[in-house]
Amino acid sequence: MTSEEPSTWAAAPARPTGVRHAVVAMAVLLAMITYIDRACIATLAPDIMRDLGLSKEQMSWVYSAFAIAYAAFEIPTARWADRFGTRRVLTRIVIWWSAFTALTGAAFNFVSLVVTRFLFGAGEAGAWPSAARTFSRWVPRGERGTVQGIFFSGAHLAGGLTPMLVMALTLVVDWRMVFVLFGLMGAAWAAVWHGWFRDEPAEHPRVNAAELALIVAHREPEGGHAEGWAYWRRLLSHRNTWALCVMYFPNSFGFYFCITWLPTCLKEKHGFESASLGFFAGLPLALSVLGDLFGGVATDRLTRRFGPRIGRTGLGAAAYAAAGGAMIAAGCVGEPVLAALAIASAVAASMFTLGAAWGVCLDLGGNHAGVVSAAMNTSGQIGSVLSPLMVTSLLAQTGEWNAPLWVMGGLYLLGSCAWWGIDPRKRIA
């Protein structure tokens, strides 16, 4: 052994630690719990409507109460996360929404259910932008689309399994206890997150120098948060902001249909029952898992090879066009299984764009990634508000389920055009 060997060993670069992967895993678990708590009410709706004596129109307002509150509090909560960090903000969000998930089981009439779901939505608002903010600080720039795809795949996997999970639970407990059980999951997550997570990688005791260097390479430096009306004027007047909002509206509109009225549509229009209903009601979100994963990987690879104009906006426009065609076809097909598969394919195609959509928000937003993504997601929540109300309105006017499917198909095609209006090379903030 020579005298130089110890110094050679000391100079060898350390392998990066993997704390960032654990952060992503915690965020994915958050996404899964979120979608379980959101989606379970659609499967439980027949029991809730029976016990509380609710009509379809009243149930639509229950669904929309969540989305109204979510949209109203989305940007303020994201602004808070941008300024004060997501450790505290996400802890508050999850504790709040978990409490009102459990309290949904205590509803005793229409008004109490609407108020509970409104407060549930107010508490959950900002969860997605806060996760995006977390990724902007913890995930290397070249991996952000992939990570966003993994994040949404976890959410949609949980959402796809929720109808079957709920049906299994209702064999042993009533619908009220289902909400209580789901609320407890979020409380456990919040305790772990607050104790373990840190807003900045440099603050985490388990992050070594090699991992820190990997994360911060090409990352926007912290600080320089714009304040006052000048910031809001820039955000609201920027062309990219409006293109993002128009683009994201149909994504949430179609998704919210899946977690509200799709089970009823499949039962009334196509006669699905029991196990087959649970399978096909969950299929759009189950297929979306693949769309999320492949879409996230694809947007990063295409961006590295061809630039963000093709890797982000080109991918999004093409996938939305496919979603529009499939949803319109679903309203024209009479064979039940083919129609259900067309709906699922349309939703999966729209979810293929999520890595690109949220990735471009991080590209455009910089230190204001939370607020930029919140602006986009607020538009989506407006779509969520209108989706169940539009369905019941069209049903009242036409008496059939085809019209809502055709409207959603048209919105996807409009969103395809909006994708081309986004220029990921022009920062908003």
18-218+229-419: CATH class: mainly alpha
Domain boundaries, the chain: 18-218+229-419
Taking the C-alpha atoms of residue 422 and residue 395, their distance in angstroms, rounded to an integer, is 35
327 pLDDT band, cuts 50/70/90, is very high
Does the structure show a pLDDT above 80 at 73? yes
Which pLDDT does position 221 carry in this prediction? 57
Secondary structure class of 54 (helix, strand, coil): coil
Residue 10 has pLDDT above 70, yes or no: no
- Of the pLDDT bands very low, low, confident and very high (cuts 50, 70, 90), residue 365 is confident
pLDDT at position 119 is: 95
**Range of lowest pLDDT (105-119, 178-192, 222-236, 379-393):** 222-236
38-47, 199-208, 220-229, 376-385, range with the lowest pLDDT: 220-229
CB 41 within 8 A of CB 104: yes
CB 368 within 8 A of CB 428: yes
Lowest mean pLDDT: which of 79-83, 104-108, 174-178, 182-186? 79-83
For the chain, give percent helix, strand, coil, nearest 5: 85, 0, 15
Q: 331 and 405 in contact (C-beta within 8 Å)? A: yes
pLDDT digits (tens, 9 = 90+) for 83-124: 889 999 999 999 999 999 999 999 999 999 999 999 999 998
Residue 422 is predicted with a pLDDT of: 92
In whole angstroms, what is the distance from residue 149 CA to residue 429 CA? 24
The mean pLDDT of 250-271, rounded to a whole number, is 86
pLDDT greater at residue 235 or residue 57: 57
Contact 176, 309 (CB under 8 A): no
Whole-angstrom CA distances from 317 to 94, 133, 368 are 33, 25, 25
**Residue linked to tokens 């000048």:** 230
Q: What is the mean pLDDT of the chain?
A: 87
Best-predicted range by mean pLDDT (103-117, 261-275, 296-310): 103-117
The pLDDT, as a whole number, for residue 226 is 53
The tokens for 143 are 């991996």
Q: Which residues contact 88 (CB under 8 A, 6 or more apart)?
A: 194
Q: What is the pLDDT of residue 259?
A: 76
- 225 compared with 220, residue with greater pLDDT: 220
The conformational region for residue 366 under phi > 0 = left, psi -120 to 50 = alpha, else beta, is left
Write down the pLDDT at residue 1.
44
Do residues 377 and 75 lie in contact, with contact meaning Cβ atoms separated by under 8 Å? Answer: no
pLDDT value for 3: 45
Nearest to 38 by CA among 148, 152, 179, 170: 179
Percentage of residues in the chain having pLDDT higher than 70: 93
pLDDT of 4 above 50: no
For residue 211, CA distances in Å to 14, 36, 127, 366 come to: 9, 33, 26, 21
Which DSSP string corresponds to 293-337? HHHHHHHHHHHHHH-HIIIIIIHHHHHHHHHHHHHHHHHH--SHH
Which range is least confidently modeled, 98-107, 292-301, 379-388? 379-388
- What type of residue is 220? E
Cβ of 165: how many Cβ atoms within 10 Å? 19
pLDDT at residue 13, as a whole number: 58
Sign of CA dihedral 165, 167, 168, 174: positive
More confident residue, 29 or 43: 29
| pLDDT tens-digit readout, 331-358 | 998 888 999 999 999 999 999 999 899 8
- pLDDT surpasses 80 at 233: no
- Read out DSSP for 1-48? --TTHHHHHHHSPPPPP-HHHHHHHHHHHHHHHHHHHHHHHHHHHHHH
DSSP secondary-structure letter at 141? G
